[in-house]
Amino acid sequence: MMKTFKYLSVPLLVIMQISYGQSVEGNVDNLPIHEYELTIAKEKVNKAGKEVMGMTINGQIPGPTLEFTEGEYAVISVANNMDVETSIHWHGILLPNFYDGVPYLSTPPIEPGHTLKYEFAIKQSGTYWYHSHTMLQEQSGVYGSIVIQPREKSLEYDKELVVMLSDWTNEKPMDVLRNLKRGNEWYGIRKGTSTPLNQVISRGALGAQLDFWRQRMEGADIADVYYPAFLINGEQKVDYPGFQQGEKIRLRIINGGASTSFWMTFGGEEPLLVSADGLDVVPVRKNKTFIGIAETYDFIVTMPVEGKVEFKITAQDGSGTATAFLGKGKVLPAKIVKRPDKIGMMQKMAKMDMKMGAHALKYRPKKDERFKMKEEYGMQMGGMQGMKSGDMDGMQMKDEQMNMPKDSIQMDHSNMPGTDMPKDSTGMARSKMSGMDHTKMTNREMKNDDAMGHMNMNNSREEGTDGKQEMDMFSEYNYDYLKSPEKTTYDDNIPVKEILLNLTGNMNRYIWSMNGVPLSETDKIKIEGGQVTRITLNNLTMMHHPMHLHGHFFRVINKNGEYSPLKHTVNVPPMKEVTIEFYGNEYGDWFFHCHILYHLMGGMARVVSYDTPRDVRMKGYPVSKLVAETDQFYSWGMLDAASHTTALNLISSNIRNQFNVSFEYGWNKNLEAEVTYERYLHDYLRVFGGVNIENETPKSLDNFKTTAVIGVRYLTPYLFALDARIDNELRPRIGLGRSIMLFPRFSVFGYYEYQIDLGIVNNLPVGKDLSSETVWSAGGEYMLSRNFSLMGSYDNRFGVGGGLSIRF
Ligand SMILES: [Cu+2]
């Protein structure tokens, strides 16, 4: 009975299973028990040339592979030997809500010194993984793989190898997030992915840059964090010499990266992609393949007669690679994936007339503006009248991606049920259409290319491509190569609930949300058992978001129609729309979130709720604690120690609130200190109030003047920071500041401030004794490291000087 999970297209059986509570699990008493013990501890580890504190499972990173057979009953004890709470989430596993492992939502956290026993029936097979769902612990090493063998083997191969991919930082993950929150440019500089103005201009992209700046965007973005190492099974380079010629090796590849998606390439002959997110797909020969964060893909690699096969992963932004070798002898190299051209992407996007800058933090979070938002922002269809983005996807067909004409899949599905496909020795479904005239298809493709010639947007012309241009700059990310061997559709009679989620984000403040509302300001998404929930994910940001739904497999609607694949994680490319749908056969509350950990912590998450009574065992573990993790205060400071002035700035900020303390002391003994509290009305606008102390009066520098100030701060189009205020003597003041990176590491900045003293409070007639004051400064900053910069500036009060800026 439990086998039905895989093919939710059998609605009758599924409906019969719906009865909330434990009964969904059926009788588990007779299942063979398979036990594991895991211990999570803090330990010194060296993954990237430096010994730092990491978090290990049973003393290792990644943790051990948990192996099961479908039909067993898993009992996994997780002991917490750390001084902080932890948790384990079983990613992609269908299990009772209580054991899903999201602390405070479905499962209690594992307190320091405590052990939690997770137990569930294994109702599926395939490649999955597990990881901590507490804060950023996954980045520190709390992840491992799960392999579940099917009751009956569906694929033929000789050996298998788990391949766990991840990213590694030597920094404390919370420091990484703090640096993202403060907008530190260092990570981009460090990995060479920043796009300073000199490069933009030399590429003739100033117009595009201005277009981006006008919409308050710095540029096209791919990945935010600098990683000194990317890992395969915990190593930057790893050898598996034990495979013999002719053997078929099933690679079970899992992306356990905290914020890195990868391009995978293989040396030797084209590998056979056989499964995605744990479930079998119609096998397809495919080499260069994208793996989003938290996805899993299984490939069967046939060992060559001679040499060892290189398996290479390249971080999506081209900032690093890792390699595994299978076999012995001469290396059969994997294709090199070129670094994406961010300036080129920006130019193309500017040309496509994309409307950016949708709010990541709306003014009125409770007001439903989803559809307005979708209409206003995103891909504007000006340049491609009458075409839907889906059409665009469907039109690109790269030969290298498949050994089967994709086009044919669009034909009448009823004629080609997947089960009718004969299987060859590798278990590959040999398509009836594989003999189809391939040249003809190529001609058609080329015709499409011609028709759309003006929007050819091949942004990564990697080696091995025959130079064919792509329609759409993100088409290489679509899932059209994934086809379920079975129909995945639901019965027409089942009611469908449609949900629109615009994916929104703000790089300046590193706030991530959906529909402009972060997790901390929203209610649960109510869904119903016995219904189909169809979610349209409309990405209005410049980043990819790998969206993961707990406890369910959803259909990712692609060109394969009724045979669209089932997945647990779907990558949504920038400015693209992806529709997923799933059948409600669960109970409880499930997390739905972006699997970039830093985006999840930034608020890009929702609770999907069947609105069933909360498990009594969750008493004392309020969900508000989970929500609060996404709305923490982050604090940072900066000290300028220069020959002409000393300045100190301290900021503490969560999503809506910010505290600022600033202190400035010039060589002429001018002193100004200010404490303000500000409230973000939306991403770009905040109101503030506070106290200002200044000794800078025309008559005497010993005379301190304390004033109360209120005002607004606003991030203008073209990214100017505007500060407009008035003090209790009714003196208005306006300030404007901007910083631009001219060269790698080198930025210029300018600040202008104008204050008028109308003398109103002193009861002088307006116009009499009117004085004004102008303050301005301009300078440059050269970043030495994440925390240090050399700076020099001219200030109209203090003159010329230079010194050191320290970020802490
Ligand atoms: Cu994201």
Whole-number Å distance, alpha carbon 505 to ligand 1 midpoint, is 8
Contacts of 788 (CB under 8 A, 6+ apart): 804, 805, 806, 807
Q: Please identify which residue in the block is written with the tokens 């201005």.
A: 210
Whole-number Å distance, alpha carbon 537 to ligand 1 midpoint, is 12
Whole-number Å distance, alpha carbon 513 to ligand 1 midpoint, is 9
pLDDT digits (tens, 9 = 90+) for 773-806: 899 999 999 999 999 999 999 999 889 999 999 9
Whole-number Å distance, alpha carbon 547 to ligand 1 midpoint, is 7
Whole-number Å distance, alpha carbon 293 to ligand 1 midpoint, is 10
Q: Report d(CA 549, CA 568) in Å as an integer.
A: 6
Residue 702: pLDDT over 80: no
**Lowest-pLDDT range of 22-26, 99-103, 357-361:** 22-26
Among 2, 15, 19, residue whose Cα is nearest residue 532: 15
Higher pLDDT, 405 or 83: 83
Whole-number pLDDT of residue 769: 58
The rounded mean pLDDT for the chain is 85
Helix (H, G, I), strand (E, B) or coil at 391: helix
Whole-number pLDDT of residue 416: 31
Whole-number Å distance, alpha carbon 473 to ligand 1 midpoint, is 19
Among 295, 298, 290, residue whose Cα is nearest residue 316: 290
**144 with 66: CB under 8 angstroms?**
yes
Q: Please identify which residue in the block is written with the tokens 């491992």.
A: 144
Q: How confident is the model at residue 700 (pLDDT cuts 50, 70, 90)?
A: low
Among 274, 282, 276, 286, residue whose Cα is nearest residue 484: 282
Whole-number Å distance, alpha carbon 673 to ligand 1 midpoint, is 38
Q: Report d(CA 723, CA 359) in Å as an integer.
A: 20
Whole-number Å distance, alpha carbon 136 to ligand 1 midpoint, is 14
358 exposure class (CB count in 10 Å sphere: 0-12, 13-18, 19+): buried
**For the ranges 72-86, 376-390, 403-417, the one whose mean pLDDT is highest:** 72-86
Whole-number Å distance, alpha carbon 767 to ligand 1 midpoint, is 55
Whole-number Å distance, alpha carbon 223 to ligand 1 midpoint, is 10
Residue 301: pLDDT over 80: yes
Structure tokens at 775: 């303050």
What are residue 752's DSSP bridge partners? 736, 776
Whole-number Å distance, alpha carbon 416 to ligand 1 midpoint, is 37
Q: How many CB atoms lie within 10 A of CB 109?
A: 21
Helix (H) or strand (E) holding 629: helix 624-629
Residue 713: pLDDT over 80: yes
Structure tokens at 537: 């994910």
Contacts of 368 (CB under 8 A, 6+ apart): none
Whole-number Å distance, alpha carbon 581 to ligand 1 midpoint, is 20
Among 296, 162, 309, residue whose Cα is nearest residue 247: 309
Whole-number pLDDT of residue 283: 98
Q: Is the dihedral of CA 442, 443, 447, 449 positive or negative?
A: positive
Whole-number Å distance, alpha carbon 431 to ligand 1 midpoint, is 36
Protein residues with C-beta less than 5 angstroms from the ion ligand 1: 545, 594, 596, 599
Among 540, 404, 537, 400, residue whose Cα is nearest residue 470: 400
Q: Report d(CA 131, CA 92) in Å as an integer.
A: 11
Q: Please identify which residue in the block is written with the tokens 């969904």.
A: 24
Whole-number pLDDT of residue 355: 86
**58 with 66: CB under 8 angstroms?**
no
Helix (H) or strand (E) holding 265: strand 262-266
**What dihedral do alpha carbons 55, 61, 64, 70 form, nearest 10°?**
90
Q: How many CB atoms lie within 10 A of CB 382?
A: 8
pLDDT digits (tens, 9 = 90+) for 462-506: 333 333 333 477 888 999 999 999 999 999 999 999 999 999 999
Mean pLDDT of 185-193: 90
Q: How many CB atoms lie within 10 A of CB 421?
A: 16
Whole-number pLDDT of residue 464: 35
Whole-number pLDDT of residue 366: 87
What are residue 737's DSSP bridge partners? 721, 751
Residue 441: pLDDT over 70: no
Whole-number Å distance, alpha carbon 391 to ligand 1 midpoint, is 25
Q: How confident is the model at residue 388 (pLDDT cuts 50, 70, 90)?
A: very low
Sheet strands (E) in 563-653? 566-567, 569-572, 577-583, 589-594, 605-609, 634-642, 645-653
Whole-number Å distance, alpha carbon 572 to ligand 1 midpoint, is 9
Q: Computed over its alpha carbons, how large is the radius of gyration of the chain?
A: 28
What are residue 770's DSSP bridge partners? none
Question: Is the bond into 62 cis (omega within 30 degrees of 0)?
Answer: yes
Q: Report d(CA 237, CA 239) in Å as an integer.
A: 7
**662 with 648: CB under 8 angstroms?**
yes
pLDDT digits (tens, 9 = 90+) for 559-588: 999 999 999 999 999 999 999 999 999 999
Whole-number Å distance, alpha carbon 247 to ligand 1 midpoint, is 39
Whole-number Å distance, alpha carbon 57 to ligand 1 midpoint, is 26
Whole-number Å distance, alpha carbon 630 to ligand 1 midpoint, is 13
Q: How confident is the model at residue 765 (pLDDT cuts 50, 70, 90)?
A: low
Whole-number Å distance, alpha carbon 611 to ligand 1 midpoint, is 26
Whole-number Å distance, alpha carbon 682 to ligand 1 midpoint, is 20
* DSSP-derived secondary structure letter, 196: -
Q: How confident is the model at residue 411 (pLDDT cuts 50, 70, 90)?
A: very low
Mean pLDDT of 7-27: 40
**Triad 373, 378, 381: Cα angle to 5°:** 115
**What dihedral do alpha carbons 130, 523, 586, 155 form, nearest 10°?**
-40
pLDDT digits (tens, 9 = 90+) for 235-244: 999 999 999 9
Whole-number Å distance, alpha carbon 745 to ligand 1 midpoint, is 27
Whole-number Å distance, alpha carbon 432 to ligand 1 midpoint, is 39
**Distance of alpha carbon 279 from its chain centroid, rounded?**
23
Q: How confident is the model at residue 220 (pLDDT cuts 50, 70, 90)?
A: confident
Whole-number Å distance, alpha carbon 599 to ligand 1 midpoint, is 5
**426 with 300: CB under 8 angstroms?**
yes
Whole-number pLDDT of residue 762: 57
Mean pLDDT of 180-207: 92
**Triad 342, 347, 349: Cα angle to 5°:** 90
Whole-number Å distance, alpha carbon 406 to ligand 1 midpoint, is 29
Whole-number pLDDT of residue 793: 95
Whole-number pLDDT of residue 447: 32
Q: How many CB atoms lie within 10 A of CB 493?
A: 6
Whole-number Å distance, alpha carbon 224 to ligand 1 midpoint, is 11
Whole-number Å distance, alpha carbon 354 to ligand 1 midpoint, is 19
Whole-number Å distance, alpha carbon 571 to ligand 1 midpoint, is 9
**727 with 707: CB under 8 angstroms?**
yes
Q: Report d(CA 775, CA 752) in Å as an integer.
A: 6
**134 with 626: CB under 8 angstroms?**
no
Whole-number Å distance, alpha carbon 597 to ligand 1 midpoint, is 8
Q: How confident is the model at residue 382 (pLDDT cuts 50, 70, 90)?
A: very low
Residue 672: pLDDT over 80: yes
**Lowest-pLDDT range of 84-88, 156-160, 578-582, 663-667:** 663-667
Mean pLDDT of 701-707: 82
pLDDT digits (tens, 9 = 90+) for 734-759: 999 999 999 989 999 999 999 888 76
**Triad 108, 111, 117: Cα angle to 5°:** 60
Whole-number Å distance, alpha carbon 428 to ligand 1 midpoint, is 34
What are the two backbone dihedrals, phi and then psi, of residue 703, each rounded to the nearest 5 degrees?
-90, 105
Mean pLDDT of 711-731: 95
Ramachandran class of 92: left when φ > 0, alpha when ψ lies in -120 to 50, beta otherwise: left
**113 with 78: CB under 8 angstroms?**
no
Higher pLDDT, 400 or 649: 649
SS (H, E, C) 531-550: CEEEEEEEECCCCCEEEEEC
Residue 34: pLDDT over 50: yes
Whole-number pLDDT of residue 471: 45
Whole-number Å distance, alpha carbon 546 to ligand 1 midpoint, is 6
Structure tokens at 735: 């300030």
Around 661, how many Cα atoms within 13 Å sit in the side-chain half-sphere? 7
Whole-number Å distance, alpha carbon 605 to ligand 1 midpoint, is 9
Whole-number Å distance, alpha carbon 671 to ligand 1 midpoint, is 43
Whole-number Å distance, alpha carbon 533 to ligand 1 midpoint, is 21
**Lowest-pLDDT range of 38-47, 170-179, 219-228, 328-337:** 219-228
Residue 517: pLDDT over 70: yes
Whole-number Å distance, alpha carbon 543 to ligand 1 midpoint, is 7
Share of the chain above pLDDT 90, in %: 73
Structure tokens at 547: 């969206």
**307 with 331: CB under 8 angstroms?**
yes
Residue 453: pLDDT over 80: no
Q: How many CB atoms lie within 10 A of CB 294?
A: 28
Whole-number pLDDT of residue 764: 53
Whole-number Å distance, alpha carbon 213 to ligand 1 midpoint, is 22
Whole-number Å distance, alpha carbon 601 to ligand 1 midpoint, is 10
Whole-number pLDDT of residue 23: 40
Whole-number Å distance, alpha carbon 699 to ligand 1 midpoint, is 55
Whole-number Å distance, alpha carbon 167 to ligand 1 midpoint, is 16
